[in-house]
Amino acid sequence: MTGQVLLASIPSLIVMFTAIYMMNRHTKKEHDLKRMELAVNNRKIVTPLRFQAYERVIIFLERITPNSIIVRLQTPKMNAGQLHKELLELIRAEYEHNLSQQLYLSSASWEKVRTAKELTIQLINNAADKVKPETNAMELSREIFDRLIEKDKAPTHEAIEALKKEVALLFQ
């Protein structure tokens, strides 16, 4: 009698396990499909934010390039000490203003941005060490430009190129 019940139950068990397997498989497919839809929707939102971050960081780097920053800050009555102080304050303020952009860049690219900022500050500080603070700001500007000519490129150049390459990879 138990043998007959067992024989009668086997087809039911097979059907039940097949149904469970098929339901699990269907549920997994639906879950994967929902996850893909969510990823596509996230890309639609995040991609423009990433591009905006790259734009903002490149603008930051262009703004702290010595040629650009000196032209914006220097006034005829300014002395070298004042110019030096204002250059450093503006670079740090611009950097702090753009800190959140690192969320959208690769770690390597953000490190290049940070390094470019530090090298620019270092270049300005080294030039400031060569002139007296009370001399005309033109002397400090000249010293900074001389150091830029020696280096052949602004410290921000490499970071800008790295960002452009990273953005190009987003289009592939």
Using alpha carbons, select from 124, 60, 66 the residue that is nearest to residue 97. 60
Q: Provide the residue type at 5 as one letter.
A: V
Q: What is the DSSP letter of 104?
A: G
Q: How many domains does the chain have?
A: 1
The tens digit of pLDDT for each residue in 125-158 reads 999 999 999 999 999 999 999 999 998 899 999 9
Round to whole Å and give the CA distance between 99 and 122.
Answer: 20
The domain of 137 spans: 49-170
- 29 within some domain: no
**95 and 60 Cβ atoms separated by less than 8 Å:** yes
d(CA 79, CA 86): 11
Predicted TM-score of the model (pTM): 0.76
Does any domain span residue 17? no
Do the domain assignments include residue 34?
Answer: no
Assess if residue 20 is contained within a domain. no
